[in-house]
A = this chain, B = another copy of it.
Amino acid sequence: MDKPAPRRVTIIDVARHAQVSTTAVSKVLRNAYGASPAMRAKVQQAIAELGYRPSAAARGLRGQTYTIGVMIPELRNLFFADILDGITAQLAGTDYQVLIAPGCNGEKAEARVIDAMIDRSMDGLVLIAPVSAKTRLIEVARRVPTVVVGRHGSSPAYDSVADDDVAGAALVVDHLADLGHRRIAHIEHHETDRVRLAEMPNARRADGYREAMRRRGLAGFIDIASTSYTHDGGYRGAKELLSRAPRPTAIFAGADVVALGALEAIAEAGLSVPGDISVAGYDNSALASFGPISLTSVDQDGRQMGADAARLLVDRIADRDRRPVQVQLSPTLAVRRTTAAVSLE
Q: Is the CB of B54 within 8 A of A57?
A: no
A5 on the B face (CB < 8 A) = yes
Contact: B76 with A119, CB < 8 Å? Answer: no
* A5-B81 contact given A60-B57, A121-B55, A291-B264, CB 8 Å threshold: no
5 sample A-B contacts, Cβ–Cβ < 8 Å, listed by A number: A4-B142, A56-B60, A57-B57, A85-B103, A263-B291
With a CB–CB cut-off of 8 A, which chain B residues contact A1? 156
Given A75-B75, A99-B101, are A5 and B143 also a contact pair (CB < 8 Å)?
yes
Does any Cβ of B come within 8 Å of A118's Cβ?
yes
Listed from nearest, the 10 A-B pairs whose CB atoms lie closest are A57-B60, A100-B100, A264-B291, A56-B120, A97-B116, A99-B99, A75-B81, A56-B119, A57-B61, A57-B121
Taken together, the copies of this chain in the complex come to: 2
> With the chains together, A119 CA to B55 CA distance in Å?
5
Chain B residues closer than 8 Å to A195, beta-carbon distance: none
Indicate with 1 or 0, residue by residue over A35-79, a CB within 8 angstroms of chain B CB atoms: 000000000000000000111111111000101010000011010
Highest count of chain B CB atoms <10 Å: which of A54, A120, A267: A120
| Segment 118-161 of A: residues with Cβ below 8 Å from B | 118-121, 142-143, 156
Interface string of A208-225 (1 = CB under 8 A from B): 000000000000000000
Q: Which residues from chain B contact A292 at a C-beta distance below 8 Å? A: 260, 263-264, 267, 292-293
Q: What sequence of 0s and 1s flags, for each residue 255-269 of chain A, a beta carbon within 8 Å of any chain B beta carbon?
A: 000001001100110
A103-B61 Cα distance, complex, nearest whole Å: 28
Per-residue interface assignment for chain A, residues 283 to 304, with 1 indicating a CB less than 8 Å from any chain B CB and 0 otherwise = 0001100111100000000000
A315 within 8 A of B: no
Query: Within 8 Å CB of A65, what residues of B?
Result: 57, 120
Closest B residue to A69 by CB, please name it: B99
Interface status of A98 (Cβ within 8 A of chain B): yes
Nearest residue (CB) in B for A119 is B56
A106 within 8 A of B: no
Is A15 engaged at the interface, CB distance under 8 Å to the other chain? no
A1-56 contacts to B, CB under 8 A, are 1, 4-5, 53-56
Tell me whether B102 and A102 are in contact (CB under 8 A): no
Q: Answer whether residue A115 sits at the interface, using C-beta atoms and an 8 A cutoff.
A: yes
Residue of B nearest to A81 (CB): B75
Whole-angstrom CA separation of A293 from B58 in the bound complex: 51
Bound together, the chains give a CA A119 to CA B103 distance in angstroms of 24
In the complex, the answer to whether A5 meets B76 with C-beta atoms within 8 Å is: no
Known: A57-B61, A120-B56, A292-B292. A76 touches B76 (CB 8 A): no
Residue of B nearest to A80 (CB): B75
